[in-house]
Amino acid sequence: MKKLISLSILFVTISAYAQNFSGKATYKTSRKSNFKIGGEKSTMSDAQKKEIEARIRKMSQRTFVLEFDKSTSIYKEEVKLNAPKPQMGGVRVMSFGSGNSGAFYKNLKEKRYANKTEIMGKAFLVKDSLPNYEWQLSSDTKNIGNYTCYKATFTREVENVNMSLVNGVPKEEKKMQTIVTTAWYTTQVPISNGPSDYQGLPGLILEINDGTTTIVCTEIVINPSEKIKIIEPEKGKVVTQEKYDKISEAKAKEMMERFKSKNGNGIEIRIGG
């Protein structure tokens, strides 16, 4: 059985050094997709299906920047020119969710967050309490760049929603799933923070994987010459996370209806959890 490291002891390091810390960390994200195109009546060739699926996977590869100080942070996608949405065989690939305008603000001291995001062009500001992850710390280590990182995991039960459009007929399937999330953090950057809503470890999270999405830090700049200004986002319809999830699910169903085939061409689309 692996030896667990005490959170209380390691957090002493953070409180001693975090007072003067600020910086930014760059993260690359990638998502494992079960997006499938096909169906009994599909007129597309196998090559066309594979190309569209490859483009969908590429759309999930994104770059984010986390700017932080001792108690607050903001996590935003790196600004870049919008590429044209890919098309193939008469099928237009649509993205669903937040765009480059998104910003995830965390206040560690007050244990809350404000997530500026959008769904199908409508702006939302999701405000809620930070999740309390029950991290299990391990003595396992590995190097990420020049940093020594320690392993931590937590397990949770989530409802996985699988929505599909098969031969023009929308379907929805829900089931509970056990998710094990693995993080690698470094006490060399003594800030209890990380990408997205991840936090609560005795050091900055440099890598995290929940079985579907992998986020890896590629660069860290501590106390940069240009002063970091962290501003909490304000624009957007204010909702709780629970309310936002319900709106998101409803909009996903609406998007499926838009995909619904009028001539039964057998396109199948699956969007997992």
Distance CA 166, CA 42 (A): 10
Quote the pLDDT of residue 63: 95
- Write out the two tokens for 271: 């969007």
Q: Look at the alpha carbons of 140, 15, 223, 66 in this order and tell me if their dihedral is positive or negative.
A: positive
Quote the pLDDT of residue 269: 45
Quote the pLDDT of residue 186: 98
Distance CA 45, CA 34 (A): 19
| Nearest-10 Cα torsion for 248, 83, 165, 241 | -10
Distance CA 46, CA 68 (A): 46
Q: How many CB atoms lie within 10 A of CB 241?
A: 15
Q: What is the pLDDT along the chain (273 residues), one digit of tens a residue?
A: 544 544 544 544 445 444 567 999 999 998 876 555 555 555 667 676 667 666 666 666 799 999 999 999 999 998 765 544 444 444 444 444 444 458 999 999 999 999 999 988 899 999 999 999 999 999 999 999 999 999 999 999 887 767 665 556 666 777 888 999 999 999 999 999 999 999 999 999 999 999 889 999 999 999 998 889 999 999 999 999 999 999 988 887 777 676 664 444 444 444 444
Q: Is the pTM of this model over 0.85?
A: no
Q: Look at the alpha carbons of 106, 59, 184, 209 in this order and tell me if their dihedral is positive or negative.
A: positive
- The values of phi and psi at residue 220, to 5°, are -130, 135
- What are the extents of the domains in the chain? 7-32+59-158+175-240
Quote the pLDDT of residue 88: 44
Quote the pLDDT of residue 262: 47
- Please name the residues in contact with 50: beta carbons below 8 A apart, sequence gap of 6 or more: none
| Nearest-10 Cα torsion for 225, 217, 156, 151 | -100
CATH code 1.20.1440.60 for 7-32+59-158+175-240: no
Residue 187 near residue 9 (C-beta atoms within 8 A): no
